[in-house]
Structure 1
Amino acid sequence: MLRAAPVSLGSVSARERAGVIRLELLTGNEQRAGEVSLDELDAIVADPRHLLWIDLEDPTDRDFMLLQREFGFHPLAIEDARRRHERPKLDIYEDYLFLVFYAARPSESDQLFTTQELSLFIGKNYLVTVHHEPCPEIDAIAERWREQADQIEESKQRVALLLYTLLDTIVDNYFPILDALAERTDRLEEEIFEGRDRGALEELFQLRKRLLALRRVVGPERDVLNLLTRRDIELLGPDTAVYFQDVYDHILRVTDAIDTYRDLLASALDAYLSVVSNNLNQVMRTLTAWSIILMSLALIAGIYGMNFVNMPELRLPWGYYAALAGMATLGISLLIVFKRIDWL
């Protein structure tokens, strides 16, 4: 049956620890609860009938020392699990795999989504997951495995199925983020073309920045899943390649969608710049048209404002009214012309 219980390793009690260790044990004839000693852990791992899942949340240095001592993990793998912001990757060791993967979930803030790093040690009959914050995906997968314990126990590649379930859940959680990106992109395009583009440029660059951040995570993960689809990884078995191929297809869809939305944002940026340029051109046309009209009127006023003695029009009784009529005629004519060519 499948058991889930908080456990402490060795003589370190749960109250003395900053992190949380959870153990999931799939076995045919035993029930476990409470403490699991190091001797018992060795016996569990040594028995191929058992499938052990150890989940460490916010582990301490002592936790990593215990892992290295009990499982014989390479110091470089322990160092990568301890440090944050590692690049997604798959390291193949002699009797286990070390995998770095990122979970992502939607966020209500301007960041649009948050990512969480997961480090996984995969052995023949055990899986060790390490993360520094609470991970909802872990809880969901643990519950899913409790419900399917009988089916899992009959499988020959149980650790591969557990790994597949975890990766499939993580990758599927990328799609709500893409839906939110698509919705914000569509709304942004509408605001741009409807003229409600105040702050649009800042939001455009923010979306492109977040898309780039997601692409930096998903791109290496695609390469990792491509490695897992190979049938020559003896630890996982050739029959499980089809499961990882399914996850690989999903992450390909995610990658294609990211590239598509990035192109859409580039098009939206071009559209925004075109709208701004057109608005600026219209303003320049309007200013030019009024400048020409006023300069024409100022030309007439300037001619008859000169202080020459020999200007016969200045002595005509109707000269003033004729100048005003000429200025009005010229101004109205120019106004009509600019209206027709859509400059005003």
Structure 2
Amino acid sequence: MIDFIAVRPDGASLLAQAPDRLPETGFLWCDCSHDEARAWAGAAQALSGVTVFEAHLLDAENPNHPSYFDATADYEMIVFRSLATLPDQAAGGEVPRLKTRPATFFLFDRMLVTVRAADSRSFASTRERLLGSRSAASRTPAAPEELMLRILNAMVDRYLELRQPLAEAFERRQRELLDPRRPFRDWYPLLEARREAGRLQDLCEEQLDAIQEWRDERLERSGPQGAAQAGDGPGLPGLSEALQVRTSDLVSHIDRVLGHARRMESSLETAVQLHFSATAHRTNEVMRTLTAITAVFLPLTLITGIFGMNFEFIPGLHSEAGFWWTMAGMAAIGIGLLALFRARAFIHESAFFGRRRSARRSAARPPANPGAIAPGADASRR
């Protein structure tokens, strides 16, 4: 079903049927869904006297079309991808998948045509505010461009609502990645999370390109030459100061979403690098500990190998105290090497007694200079 809404300075009203002409004051909003195919094109041509190009009609019907801007001498077309549904936080901290769909805006002189999904929440909320009793006359859009910017702002705000679930899901993945108690094996969901962050960046960049191209086109019309071109025929007017403020606000909202997506991807890349660095560090710690243990037992192995030779006479072999002297010497060598490695920081206490015991000893250790007085305390005494 195609809805025609007359937007006047004193308010907006839903028309029962298609009007014969555009309203004398204000503008007309023709709102339809993708299910209506091209039924809106005939009504738009009858009201504005402008024929929409076939390529633009195909773009409005394409569900995979990226955000895009194009203009002719009589109308402008903006394709803007919005969220299909706001994904809930998945169980287990899974990163929500982004599902988007396009909404197409056709800007004519004193008429706005929107082609969108039938269940679009952004368009429904804008219509409720526009037609509801809360919509005061002072808040009624004065031009089709202002109404389009309001709808686009509502669509971008839904992207801003993604920040919390995305941030929580990415934070959970980072904690799992850096957890030293268990190895990380869920690499495919991690790659999917990185893919969603990159996809969100691409969406925002396409949206920025489309809005900035439309703004540049209108700013060119705002100059002396653009005003003359607009006054020669049915062309569109330039961009007023109020619309420039609204457009800048919309661009700043898209920049916020884009910056958040870039920060998430950067933090994920940093977490992956920290994971591999921590894994390499733990591997080096294990190898250093094993090397130190091997170095401790190497002279002991040499001693046992010497006394295990099949010679008829070995000093101390037939002595009653030879075994105990040998064991004492081996223990002294082992303890001496351990003390030497500990003094040279080749091994740490945590390698043998665990990290918790080392942390408890470090916490219970008194400060290096307990009698020192802070500079602020010393000054107060003076």
TM-score by length of 1: 0.77
Partner of 1:317: helix, strand, or coil?
coil
Aligned to 2:104: 119
Q: Are residue 80 (structure 1) and residue 67 (structure 2) matched? A: no
Any idea what the Cα deviations from partners look like across 1:224-274, whole Å, max 9, x if unmatched? 221233323563642122221221122223333333333333322222222
Question: Aligned to 1:177, which of 162, 177, 181?
Answer: 162
- What is the deviation of 1:216? 0.3
Contact 1:53 1:127 in 2 (8 A): yes
C-alpha change, 1:143 and 1:156, in structure 2 (3 Å) is closer
Partner of 1:229: helix, strand, or coil?
helix
- What is the deviation of 1:320? 2.4
5 Å matches for 1:55-204? 55-56=32-33, 58-59=34-35, 63-71=36-44, 72-104=51-83, 105-109=86-90, 110-114=94-98, 115-132=100-117, 134-147=119-132, 148=135, 150-151=137-138, 156-157=142-143, 159-186=144-171, 195=180, 198-199=183-184, 202=187, 204=190
Aligned to 1:10: none
Query: Structure 2: which amino acid aligns with 1:92?
Result: A
Aligned to 2:372: none
Partner of 2:320: helix, strand, or coil?
coil
Question: Aligned to 1:257, which of 260, 282, 289?
Answer: 260
- What is the deviation of 1:295? 3.2
Contact 1:81 1:119 in 2 (8 A): yes
Aligned to 1:4: none
Aligned to 2:215: 229
Aligned to 1:213: 199
Partner of 1:315: helix, strand, or coil?
coil
Give the distance between the partners of 1:218 and 1:30, measured in 2 at CA.
Answer: 34
Query: Structure 1: which amino acid aligns with 2:137?
Result: D
Give the distance between the partners of 2:118 and 2:341, measured in 1 at CA.
Answer: 66
Partner of 2:15: helix, strand, or coil?
coil
Give the distance between the partners of 1:222 and 1:175, measured in 2 at CA.
Answer: 15
Give the distance between the partners of 2:316 and 2:13, measured in 1 at CA.
Answer: 119
Query: Structure 1: which amino acid aligns with 2:220?
Result: D
Contact 2:4 2:28 in 1 (8 A): no
Aligned to 1:332: 335
- What is the deviation of 1:78? 1.6
> Percent sequence identity over matched residues?
24
Any idea what the Cα deviations from partners look like across 1:175-212, whole Å, max 9, x if unmatched? 22234344445555556666367548736544322211
C-alpha change, 1:25 and 1:320, in structure 2 (3 Å) is same
Contact 2:149 2:246 in 1 (8 A): yes
Q: Are residue 245 (structure 1) and residue 248 (structure 2) matched? A: yes
Query: Structure 1: which amino acid aligns with 2:269?
Result: A
- What is the deviation of 1:47? 6.5
Question: Aligned to 2:274, which of 271, 276, 298?
Answer: 271
Contact 2:6 2:26 in 1 (8 A): no
Query: Structure 1: which amino acid aligns with 2:277?
Result: S
Give the distance between the partners of 1:196 and 1:236, measured in 2 at CA.
Answer: 64
Q: Which runs of 5+ in 1 are unaligned?
A: 1-6, 8-20
Task: Count matched residues.
Answer: 313
Partner of 1:309: helix, strand, or coil?
coil
- What is the deviation of 1:156? 4.2
Task: Name which of structure 1's ranges 181-190 and 319-328 shifts more when overlaid on structure 2.
Answer: 181-190
Give the distance between the partners of 1:307 and 1:224, measured in 2 at CA.
Answer: 90
C-alpha change, 1:25 and 1:263, in structure 2 (3 Å) is same
Aligned to 2:47: none
Contact 2:5 2:14 in 1 (8 A): no
Query: Structure 2: which amino acid aligns with 1:217?
Result: L
TM-score by length of 2: 0.71
Query: Structure 2: which amino acid aligns with 1:51?
Result: L
Give the distance between the partners of 1:180 and 1:305, measured in 2 at CA.
Answer: 68
C-alpha change, 1:130 and 1:309, in structure 2 (3 Å) is farther
- What is the deviation of 1:326? 2.3
Partner of 1:313: helix, strand, or coil?
coil
Give the distance between the partners of 1:127 and 1:161, measured in 2 at CA.
Answer: 10
Q: Are residue 293 (structure 1) and residue 270 (structure 2) matched? A: no
